[in-house]
Structure 1
Amino acid sequence: MADEELRLLDDVVRSLPPVPLNDLLSRRLCPQCILRIFGKYGPIYTHYSQISTILSEVVGHQPNSDDPLLKGSTNEDGICSVCYGILQFIYVDEKQALVNKGCAFDVAASICELARDEGHQVDCFSLEVSIPPIILENDDTVRLYMKEKYSSEDWFQEMLQSEAISVKDALKLSITNPLETLLGVKSGSSAFRVRLTYTSSERPMKIDNGKEINQASKKRKTGFGNTIGGNRSDITETDTHLKQCLDSLQEKRSINSLERKISACCLAVVFSRTPIYIAGRYLKYSRNVSQSRWIIDDERMGEASVEEIVGNGILPICRGDNYKFHAAGREDIDVRMLGSGRPFLLEIQNPRTLPSESSMKEMELKINSLEGKLLKVKNLKVVDDQCWTLMREGEAEKQKQYAALVWISRPLVDIDLLTISSLRDLKVLQSTPVRVLHRRSPLEREKMIHWMNVEKISGSSQYFLLNLCTQAGTYIKEFVHGDLGRTHPSLGSILGCRAEILQLDVTDVKMDCFLTE
């Protein structure tokens, strides 16, 4: 600890009035809780052992090795009656063992070690703290006690000008700088979050109407100037209600009740990162691969899915917990996706590694080298979460091109070619197809066939290749055969004969958004 910091800490502690200081110490409040109740702010909360020593000198008390104020004590009787050890850096770990880290730096070191063990890549971090409601109740009890006993003192009026600091904020002040030093990064608004969750077996006391006592001050701002009254003579409505609640508890919860034996809080440390999105395009070469995982009665439909091939190829490299696959539209399992490919987003949940440009290439190579060559991906890149919105918004405007092998019930003649190719921006009304009625609402949709043309197949008069461009969401198979009249007009009705699709490929998906090539 630097000499300048030590002098600052000494000045802060010695500025506290000795009588209430001794009073709070006798109520078994830890040094950090005393400082924050007096509204003292700054990095002083990191230096627990120095605060304890100076406090002991100010009140004329010589500490010994068993003194709970001293660093290193693991006696549960020495745990703070307000913060339950949180600001003393004492807690119960996941193995139910009592741990005393003694100083903020040691707490930060254990957090960093855990982050390294879990393999998190940290470029910045935000610190989140959750404390049990009983701590808030303890704060209310002490502050009301201070007001009732010392409100006539001059120093108390000065203290009203300072905002008391919560346990949560005091803990952040203690360990943020050590975390920044050990992790080698700055804290702030970040996608990577370090969350410390403290829990206690003790619950806030109940008042007559069954609500928790700290609900009385739920909407107030923490601090003497707000919690305990804003001026010398008035008690706010919140304070009046709070006092009534406290009075109704009688012996159940009073300042004296803070002197009972206290157990330390349990601490759980969880790291999380907001999802990252990897965008790209996929090409599907198999007519036996569904877009998403397809299981019916515990039986897989198709030999694989685009979702699983892409997700399982990318997830291990990002080292995430899970993934979600989002595509710009979909094709049936027996329809190939060719041409420029279909745009997709892969949402990686809680990734531990942020992919680099080189790792993007590694992902592409890994997926494209899979045995069977069922699928290919290209143009993989990390994008922000706004791209999900852009892709959804672009679905209504996008156009798709298809190539279909079509059979008709009579020979194809030249006039058919002219009829088909002359149609532009043909409006089609489609009721929900019979084949998907079991899983989709019965609706009627208006779709647009932008253009069509026909390529003859040598040696065949009833088979031909139909190329067409349509609005997104058009049911192509139903447009060709009419779906028992549920699609009108259809290619069959236009030609005046039966028509069926034998094979269908998507050849292009155009989107006027970030995924347009």
Structure 2
Amino acid sequence: MSNEVESAQVSDAMEVAQLSSLAAVDSHAGSCEAEMPSRLLNDAVRSLPYHVVKDLLSIGVCSRCVLRILGTEDHIYCHSSFSQSMLCSVLEEVTGFKSECDFQFCSVCLGVLQLIYRDDKETLVKMESPNDMALVIAELVKKEGHQIDGFSLEVSIPQFILENESSLLSGMKKRYESEPWLQERLLSKCVSVKDVLKFAITKPLETLLDTKASASSFRIRLAYTHKMAFGNSVERNQGFKRRKIGTENGLQNVNDESVVANKDCSDYPTNETIAVTGRSSLKVPIDKVSEPCHLVYLCYRTHIYLCGRYLKYSRNVSQTRWIIDEERMGEASVEEIIGSNILPMCRGDNYKFHAAGREDIDVRMLGSGRPFLLEIQNARQVPSEETVKEIESKINGLENKLVGVKNLQVVGSQGWTLMREGEAEKQKQYCALVWISRPLEDEDVCSISLLNDMQILQKTPIRVLHRRSPLERKKIIYWMKIERIAESSQYFLLHLCTQAGTYIKEFVHGDFGRTQPSIGSILGCRAEILQLDVTDVKMDSE
């Protein structure tokens, strides 16, 4: 669990670094408005090899992909105010070339950077600029009622897009290998489709949501899929191992030399190879695209955790919801009482209840209480300290008084890890009402109190053999003390502290000799346990 959390944090930090590494575009934001965006684009486009731009446009590569593949300085094409039509117009004006082919969707990014996609109703959606997409996302966040102080933007695209790009770069390297611009631009400055889209919509999103992109627990995810991806991916990867894509300056470089080097385009089988005829003859094995990607917007928060200790005052309440043959066992459960009161305050989708061990339904949990952790899924609101106190007071003030909580607080996922790590090492204290078949003597009281750190051997109890493996377990009884009950010679209270996992009921009556020694065998008589309370659970971390 801790490794997963650490990996997620590292991933978030890398995403923030990726966005920061493109921050040069921000320096142009003000000048774009004051000095005209076309001027900046014109300067960038004039530095490109015109014949290559023409070749790429001719095979259906969209304007943004042309500019990013050729490593346009300062990544100006990422700016959120630039529409696809504006980029296309500047390219055609500067190069003097207009593609005669009618490519509706980019043959490399499949429409992702053209901001064209099909939604969940299969409607074709076309957006003018990244600002439009940011507006759709912001409205979704507000519609779902999320309260946020930051966000992490994630984009997932079909592997098919990376394969298309790898094929294109391989073909370009083969065709233009003798030209000096190749090493300078193609193999060092190409930014991935995901990074271009993320940066283009991050700034307007920050403005619309009035918060900054960061390593946040609130995630905005753009999930792109394509029906061509699976079939073609299988064909194209036959005989080839997938290689890890390298990074440079925090940006994913999909054209890393390890991906495109020494890869003959003819190795890839295709349905319809697009090629530029004439002097340039740039042949690349990518399919003409007839459909854009399918896009799903997802807004969610990673799990939040509330921990504390619960007390159970009833002998007819289970720890978790207990149903047998569609019939509820007990009148309620700790899980439901706590979860049903916390979930609405967090406005989450669901919850999961975790505890450091469990007690039987007829056993009360008293004293300091048992540690628990409540995992809230997709919480739209993280409760403040004041709200948490209100929740605690509400649970403790319920009329039925079945369950109580203490020390309730919001914690990170490390709370779950610490609770599980401490579970195996914890000590538990009990108070048991015991009956024996003969009168209790003073010698019995003394002999029991002298037994410290006593090791016992317990076979799996008969009452749980139907659901537990038949094992022998060594457990430790750290100390015991007998408290007499006035006017009763055969009833007494047994206070004891044991190692976690000790079966207390069986330690008292012996379970037909399956627990050795037991209170019955120590006192040399029959012993029965009538009631049991847990009075303390000591964690190793405390």
* Alignment partner of 2:481 out of 430, 433, 453: 453
Contact 2:520 2:527 in 1 (8 A): yes
SS of residue paired to 1:2: helix
* Alignment partner of 2:175 out of 126, 137, 149: 149
Alpha-carbon separation, structure 2, partners of 1:363 and 1:152: 71
How far the C-alpha of 1:136 sits from its partner, in A, is 2.0
| 2:77 match | 44
Alpha-carbon separation, structure 1, partners of 2:424 and 2:247: 50
Q: Deviations over 1:148-197 (max 9, x none)?
A: 33333333343245332221121112112222222222223222221111
- Pairwise CA RMSD of aligned residues? 2.8
* Alignment partner of 2:92 out of 30, 47, 56: 56
Q: Does 1:183 align with 2:214?
A: no
Change (3 A) 1:98 1:250: closer
Contact 1:213 1:245 in 2 (8 A): no
Q: Does 1:484 align with 2:506?
A: no
Q: Deviations over 1:227-251 (max 9, x none)?
A: 8796xxxxx79644453423x5485
Q: Does 1:245 align with 2:270?
A: no
Alpha-carbon separation, structure 1, partners of 2:464 and 2:199: 58
Q: Does 1:2 align with 2:33?
A: yes
How far the C-alpha of 1:490 sits from its partner, in A, is 0.5
Contact 1:166 1:222 in 2 (8 A): no
Q: Does 1:93 align with 2:119?
A: yes
Change (3 A) 1:252 1:286: same
Q: Deviations over 1:18-50 (max 9, x none)?
A: 222122222222110001110225353232344
| 1:72 match | none
| 2:48 match | 16
| 1:373 match | 401
Contact 2:190 2:253 in 1 (8 A): no
Q: Does 1:30 align with 2:85?
A: no
Q: Does 1:496 align with 2:532?
A: no
Q: Does 1:193 align with 2:219?
A: yes
* Unaligned segments of structure 2, at least 5 residues: 1-31, 276-282
Alpha-carbon separation, structure 2, partners of 1:268 and 1:356: 31
| 2:21 match | none
The farther-off stretch of 85-94 and 43-52 is 43-52
Q: Does 1:170 align with 2:196?
A: yes
Letter of the 2:77 counterpart: I
* Unaligned segments of structure 1, at least 5 residues: 69-75, 231-235
| 1:71 match | none
| 1:473 match | 501
Report the TM-score, using the length of structure 1 for normalisation: 0.88
| 2:141 match | 115
| 2:28 match | none
* Alignment partner of 1:396 out of 402, 419, 424: 424
Change (3 A) 1:249 1:174: same
Letter of the 2:472 counterpart: E
Contact 2:220 2:300 in 1 (8 A): yes
Alpha-carbon separation, structure 1, partners of 2:459 and 2:272: 72
| 2:131 match | 105
Letter of the 2:265 counterpart: K
Change (3 A) 1:314 1:116: same
Alpha-carbon separation, structure 1, partners of 2:465 and 2:420: 24
Letter of the 2:45 counterpart: V
Alpha-carbon separation, structure 1, partners of 2:481 and 2:34: 85
Letter of the 1:243 counterpart: C
The farther-off stretch of 333-342 and 439-448 is 439-448
Change (3 A) 1:140 1:337: same
| 2:355 match | 327
Alpha-carbon separation, structure 2, partners of 1:205 and 1:423: 71
Q: Deviations over 1:291-331 (max 9, x none)?
A: 11222222221111111111121112112222221112211
| 1:79 match | 105
Task: Give the % identical residues.
Answer: 58
Q: What is the count of residue pairs matched by the alignment?
A: 496
SS of residue paired to 1:169: helix
Alpha-carbon separation, structure 2, partners of 1:401 and 1:157: 72
Alpha-carbon separation, structure 2, partners of 1:53 and 1:304: 68
